[in-house]
Amino acid sequence: AIWYEATAALLASPQPFVRCLSADFASDSFAMAPRSAPRSRAVAPGLLVLAALAASLVYLGSLGPAYSVKGAWQGQPSTLKDTVKGDFGSVMEGLEPKVSFPPIAYHREGVALSVEDGRLNADYTAKLDGDTMLQLRVNDEQEWRASLRGEDASLRVRGQGANLDSLSWEAAQSSSVEDVGDVKVEFNSDK
């Protein structure tokens, strides 16, 4: 920047030796070539802009291809009020992709671990006697189901964690009664 200012000052004012030469020569036969510095000063910013544009095109071209993902927002108009206040959580939930992965499972000697619908499940199955099976299923949200099934009776219980208020059960017994026929009795915890 200092060099540019010094050069501009020298080019703007006539140089002392040029004044001496023009004073010594009285005839007009000797003429000096016109200066081309103003033209080069006008071209330099244009070349600088062109170089910057070329560098930016090379940089942007090296980033690789860009991909566009199509989607839709399935939110309520009232959500936009929260967005204006700075709460972007509900908008982001509406933009989350819905992805479903195939179920993944591991089975070994009555114990099974699986992932279904984004939830981790643990299953246990055991045969208690000749016709009675025990099954237990627990997931990562502490929902659980247990069932005890035999040849003519069954009991199913489900709940959430250790909370007994969420406990529900169903029981059934079937039998054949003489002179009546087949009878099936069902009980449940519904009120």
Per-residue model confidence as pLDDT tens digits over 34-88: 555 566 667 778 888 889 988 887 787 777 666 666 666 666 767 667 777 777 7
For residue 95, the SS3 value is: helix
The two counts, helices (H) then strands (E), for the chain are 5, 8
Helix or strand run (H / E) with residue 62: none
Average pLDDT, the chain: 76
- Alpha carbon 136 to its chain centroid, in Å, reads 35
What's the whole-model pTM score? 0.45
46 sits in which H/E element? helix 37-61
| Residue environment code for 42-81, b if the CB has 16+ CB neighbours within 10 A, otherwise e | eeeeeeeeeeeeeeeeeeeeeeeeeeeeeeeeeeeeebee
